Amino acid sequence: MARLAVLGRCGASDAELRLGLVAARGGALRHVTAWPGSYTAVLQIGRRITVLGDLAGARPVFHTPWSGGTAYATAALPLADLIEAGLDVTHLAATLALPDSPEAIGDGTPYLGVRRVPPGHALILRDGAPEISGYEPTASLASGHHQATAADAEAAVAGVRDALVEAVRARLAQPRYVPDPDEAPAPGIGADLSGGVASATLALLAAGLPGMPGTLPGTPGALAGERLLAVTFNDLAAGGLALREAELERARRMGTDPRLRHVVVAGGPEALPYADLAAGPLAGPLTDEPGAPLVIAERHRQRLSAGGADHLIGYGARQVLDAHPARLADLLMDRRRRSLVRPVAALTRADGSAGHPALVPFTVPLTVYRAARRLARTPYQRAVEDTAALLLSGTLAGAAGGPLDASLAAMAWVRPGPAAGWLTGEALAEVSVRLQDAARRPWPLERPGQRRARAALARQAADFRVYEQAVAVPSQRLHAPFLDNQVVRAGQMLPAALRVRPGARAQVLREVLSGAGVRELPPGWGSGSSPATGPALRAGLSTALDPLLDLFDAPLLADAGLVEARVVRHVLRAAAQGEPVALDGIGDLVATEVWLRRLLARRGSCWTGGADAPEQRAVASGVQRLSL
């Protein structure tokens, strides 16, 4: 007996599903993960059950021992309620100290006994016993020596174009939910024109330019006559007036096309970070895990409420298409020094304040080259052990001061996150033990840049899951095509020398649009459009100072031994008074504290329902189903 179930948005036809089932019976699991869309596939072949997660981790699978077998689900919270799991405090400390380091986080979750299937892996159950197996080929140290030609780069960009078009088509071709007239989202497809080139690319692809209004190139009349709802968020409270006006002008130029229905949403003070705390930390939804979107949920709800019932966002494009700074070490390992010229020159221009102006053109390239060479020559084991010792010493580096500092700090096998400096010595020591254990395990076969880029993508995908659950608008489905398997694979085919070039993401997406027939783009398209977040964070902190101080009056984080409450309160007051104190990582602390409060108030409600909040029985519809 062979059966296949696909949960989520999948663009496979019935014939392709049947072919996939035949291929899976022969052991070709990867074939089942290659269809357009974002989904989870469950295979049953005889007495063996195989559950496949995705490559990025946006659609993960969780499992736990239960009733003599294994329970699995697409969310961890229902499983934790099922087995009445305790809280894994060390895991919370690891996600705060090393948010994008699999060495410390591993396959754990905030719940003891509930495990996560790593991205690119499958959960295989034989007679109830779990086994984790990878379905994606692992990159080896020998890979990358091939000298990419112009034809290779052109073919890779064409692959990204085809993957994105298919990803958007998978959303347009499926039946869409039509909300009641009184509900917030408008019927049909929506997308963002603000937020960067990735979301604008999706909007233009979905609108079907050129051709009949609302028709994707190659889709014969599927949505003819339906205009795409394009939303621009005008952040009136976050500063950066010049950038805002330039972004609005570009959006207006694109929004004049008859295939688009352009809507501008004005974000006021209620869209500032931490504005959600005005109604109390328990007012929002309980997400599966803590995450940064919990402190800016209201900001995104304002924009999404004006969007469509099916809304496309550009989440994950940076991690899929851009090159992680550690990729420079990979190029040195391939003896591709000339490929470092453009990114180093861009860092030199962006960080002209580093030292004497006459010496900057010489000191910056040398500094970057030394950092890349040091990473290329540092063995993985030594790097992990050094980071473990650094956490034990408590002498963590401060926040990056600019693009150069940020890039230099990112050139490491393992790097502490911005919230690490807030943790107590005891919490850092627990995380250090995890790193020491990881250093004794077999070393990964990846290069440093490959591993760091993959970890950053997994972190972004985890944030997207929190984003989906925290900012959910009733009767609306969010779609992040850049996190689809086929788009991730296409991005991995881009040559490293192309990815490290300044503006590579915008150039790739420009060629994607050109290949799809969209050639007329407004002046300035591809330039940075998001205003600086620093002023917005400080403005939000000052506005929400009293709720924040109340939150850290007796925080659960302090009860767990992760932070010292008085230190957090002191810095919050100092920042509100305009003192130049470092606030990096404070948002992660606030998000984790809010999540802990909601978890304590609603644990156990996944299966029985809370007496005072029966509508909040799980994180979101569609992710609370449990399969045994």
What order of strands is seen across the sheet that includes strand 129-134? 2-10, 37-45, 48-52, 121-126, 129-134
Locate tokens 């990979």: which residue?
Answer: 330
Cβ contacts of residue 326 below 8 Å, gap of 6+? 375, 410, 411, 412, 448, 449, 451, 452, 453
Tokens of 535: 């002023």
Q: Do the beta carbons of residue 610 and residue 602 sit within 8 Å?
A: yes
Residue 179 has a pLDDT of: 63
Query: Under a CB-based contact definition with an 8 Å cutoff, are residues 47 and 106 in contact?
Result: no
What pTM does this model have?
A: 0.90
Greatest pairwise CA separation for the chain in angstroms: 73
Please list the alpha-helical segments (H only) found in 174-323.
197-207, 241-255, 297-305, 317-321
pLDDT for the residue numbered 329: 92
**Is the bond preceding residue 210 a cis peptide, omega within 30 degrees?**
yes
Tokens of 269: 């003070």
The vertex-589 CA angle with 583 and 590, nearest 5°, equals 95
Burial of 239 (0-12, 13-18, 19+ CB in 10 A): middle
Instruction: Identify the helix (H) or strand (E) that includes residue 234.
Output: strand 228-235
Q: Rounded CA gap, 323 and 320, in Å?
A: 8
- Tokens representing 525 are 């398209």
Residues 206, 211, 217, CA angle at the centre, nearest 5°? 50
Q: Average pLDDT for consecutive 10-residue bins of the chain (628 residues)?
A: 92 94 90 95 94 96 96 96 95 96 95 97 94 80 57 93 94 71 73 85 81 48 66 69 70 81 82 88 93 91 90 95 91 85 74 48 76 94 95 76 81 94 96 95 88 95 96 90 97 91 90 88 68 71 93 96 96 88 91 96 73 46 33
Alpha-carbon distance 103 to 491, whole Å? 24
Structure tokens at 584: 């990096």
* SS3 letters across 151-211: HHHHHHHHHHHHHHHHHHHHHHHCCCCCCCCCCCCEEEEEEECCCCHHHHHHHHHHHCCCC
d(CA 224, CA 226): 6
Length of the chain: 628
pLDDT at 527: 64
Take residue 436 and report the two structure tokens written for it: 């020491």
Contact 169, 219 (CB under 8 A): yes
Q: Please say whether the beta carbons of 620 and 467 come within 8 A.
A: no
Q: Are 223 and 172 in contact (CB under 8 A)?
A: yes
Q: At what angle do helices 341-350 and 403-410 cross, to 10 degrees?
A: 140
In terms of Cβ atoms closer than 10 Å to its own Cβ (0-12, 13-18, 19+), residue 185 is buried
Q: How many CA atoms lie within 13 A of 427 on its CB side?
A: 25
- The pLDDT score that the predictor gives to residue 250 is 79
Helix, strand, coil percentages (3-state) for the chain, rounded to 5, are: 45, 15, 40
Q: Are 475 and 177 in contact (CB under 8 A)?
A: yes
Could you write out the three-class secondary structure of 359-399?
CHHHHHHHHHHHHHHHHHHCCHHHHHHHHHHHHHHCCCCCC
C-alpha neighbours within 13 Å on the C-beta side of residue 613: 16
Nearest-angstrom CA–CA distance, 81 and 530: 39
User: How would you write 526-578 as a 3-class SS string?
Assistant: CCCCCCCHHHHHHHHHHHCHHHHHHHCCCCHHHHCCCCCHHHHHHHHHHHHCC
Residue 612 per-residue DSSP state = S
Chain mean position to CA 41 = 21
Alpha-carbon distances of 580 from 237, 272, 479, 574, 614, rounded to whole Å: 21, 20, 39, 8, 45
User: Strands 121-126, 48-52: parallel, antiparallel or unpaired by DSSP?
Assistant: antiparallel
Helix (H) or strand (E) holding 129: strand 129-134
Q: Is 591 helix (H, G, I), strand (E, B) or coil?
A: helix
Cβ-based neighbour number of residue 381 at 10 Å: 14
Provide the 8-state DSSP code for 323. Answer: P
Q: What pLDDT, on a 0 to 100 scale, did the predictor assign at position 216?
A: 52
